[in-house]
Amino acid sequence: MDFSDFLVRKCPPTAMYIPNFITSEEEQIILSYIERTPKPKWNQLLNRRLINYGGIPHANGMVAEEIPEWLQTYVDKINNLNIFETQKANHVLVNEYRPGQGIMPHTDGPLFFPTISTISLGSHTILEFSKRENCLQNANETEPKSSTMEMKLDDRKILFKLILEPRSLLILKDSLYNDYLHSINEVEQDTLCDRICNYENCESTYKMGDCLKRSTRISLTIRNVPKTTKMKLKFF
């Protein structure tokens, strides 16, 4: 696929933003499956809840689990873009963000192939970027043994932002994967400003100073975990 039309040219390399990557009908199908997910499957954090599909990433190797068929459809759609080079996506992190919820500045870390693909559902959000050297403290995104690093900033110096619309796909790689932290501020509405870099890539037309109210957003972060392991079960 030629991504030249989707390249975000006003920020460091490399971000690609594809509006309406999925249809409204597909969005509703995905949301209906997620809504029916049993509560024990969710991992409740302080500022959001999440589900791992495909396994739990771990430094010793992810024990690969089968991804549900309804979700594998969209993993395959990402794989058809060949963004992981010779690898294929094998892990999906589902995050639920309610209005006022977000995620602290973090990098996805070395457990993953250095490319992130994220499909947004249900609501917009604003993804904020800051330089990695500003970090003071490590935390986690998925669970305590994950390589993902979530960090507190002494001074939240946000250098640029991206607006993520419902049904859009965002791909981050290169310097944006390795050298920058990305985060979502914990607010109930977003005021549009000139630090948002991808207005020209968006489906909708926005005006500076507009306030967009958030509703519940589901994100599907589809990635490749290079190191996997098969669990050997012994029966006695």
Mean pLDDT, the chain, integer: 90
Residue 63 neighbours by CB under 8 Å, 6+ apart: 55, 56, 228, 229, 230, 231
What is the reported pLDDT for 229? Answer: 86
Question: Which residue type does 3 have?
Answer: F
Encoded amino acid at 115, one letter: T
In the chain, % of residues over pLDDT 70: 88
Q: What's the angle, vertex CA 80, arms to CA 19 and CA 7, rounded to 5?
A: 40
Domain boundaries, the chain: 15-136+154-225
Q: How do residues 2-48 score in pLDDT, each as one tens digit?
A: 899 999 999 999 999 999 999 999 999 999 999 999 999 999 999 99
In angstroms, rounded to a whole number, what is the distance separating the alpha carbons of residues 137 and 220? 26
CATH class of 15-136+154-225: mainly beta
pLDDT tier for residue 177 given thresholds of 50, 70 and 90:
very high
| pTM of the complete model | 0.90
- pLDDT, tens digit, 9 for 90 and up, residues 113-144: 999 999 999 999 999 999 997 443 333 344 43
Q: Report the residue count for the chain.
A: 236
